Amino acid sequence: MTPLSNLKKDLEALANPEKAAFFPRFFKTGKGEYGEGDKFLGVMVPEQRKIAKKYKDLSFGDLAQLLKSDFHEHRLTAIFILVYRFEKGDEGIQKQVYEFYLKHRKNVNNWDLVDSSAHKIVGPYLKDKDRSILFELAESESLWDRRIAMISCFHFIRNEDFDDPLRIAEMLVNDPHDLIHKAVGWMLREIGKRDEAAEVEFLRNHQDMPRTMWRYATEKGVTI
């Protein structure tokens, strides 16, 4: 058997029918919902991380096949492998992972896939590079591109670099989708933890932002 087939077999061995029945509702896979058509084995995240570490040397070709899978756990395990490889790799490996991630980002197509990877691959890679790609993603028609743009900024925020995160938040403040409201509010809250004045100024300038975004941004009781 190939490494890819062994990985899939390992995941199938951990399948939990009860979780497999619950996850479609949790990840909104109904008709017209953001996760429409997603399928689940019912494998928990800690178990997927263990398998990702076991198969950390999986080829990029096999990773591409995993990311094309209809099964959520296949795609998330591929994401975990990419993150592990990026964090452990040299500059050349990091460039490979970053470019591969962007090329296959249409398969990074649920909020947990984005939130497990964007600020661990895209953000760190672009820390000292041109970031125009993030502004292109923020203008994309793809919900997941827009979320990648915002969540990638978490890396900058953690390093007290707020200019681009605030610019992207400005671009997305009137986005129609709830998942972007949550992402922007979350990143604004993270900015506020480090520079409350910067968050307060943004909030005062956008008091008509969507309610969910405002709630996420002010969750820690910031005073406006």
Question: Over the chain (224 residues), what is each successive 10-residue block's mean pLDDT?
Answer: 97 97 92 94 98 97 98 98 98 98 98 98 98 98 98 98 98 98 98 96 97 93 70
Query: Both 95 and 171 in a single domain?
Result: no
Q: What pLDDT score was predicted for residue 22?
A: 94
Task: Give pTM, 2 decimals.
Answer: 0.96
Among 76, 108, 140, the domain-final residue is 108
Enclosing H/E stretch for 189? helix 178-194
Query: Both 102 and 190 in a single domain?
Result: no
Instruction: Give the CATH number of the domain where residue 184 resides.
Output: 1.25.10.90
| Token output for 26 | 């949790």
Residue 140, in any domain of the structure = yes
Contact 146, 127 (CB under 8 A): no
Residue 71 — φ and ψ, nearest 5°? -85, 125
Residue 121, in any domain of the structure = no
Contact 98, 86 (CB under 8 A): yes
Domain that includes residue 67, residue range: 1-108
Angle at 92 between CA 86 and CA 95, to 5 degrees: 60
- Taking alpha carbons only, the member of 115, 114, 127 closest to residue 158 is 127
Q: What pLDDT score was predicted for residue 204?
A: 96
Enclosing H/E stretch for 69? none
Query: Both 81 and 166 in a single domain?
Result: no
Query: Both 24 and 69 in a single domain?
Result: yes
Among 108, 139, 163, the domain-final residue is 108
**Number of domains comprising the chain:** 2
Instruction: Give the bridge partners for 71, in sequence order.
Output: 39
In whole angstroms, how large is the CA radius of gyration of the chain?
Answer: 18
Q: What pLDDT score was predicted for residue 174?
A: 97
Query: Both 131 and 67 in a single domain?
Result: no
Residue 116, in any domain of the structure = no
Among 58, 82, 108, the domain-final residue is 108
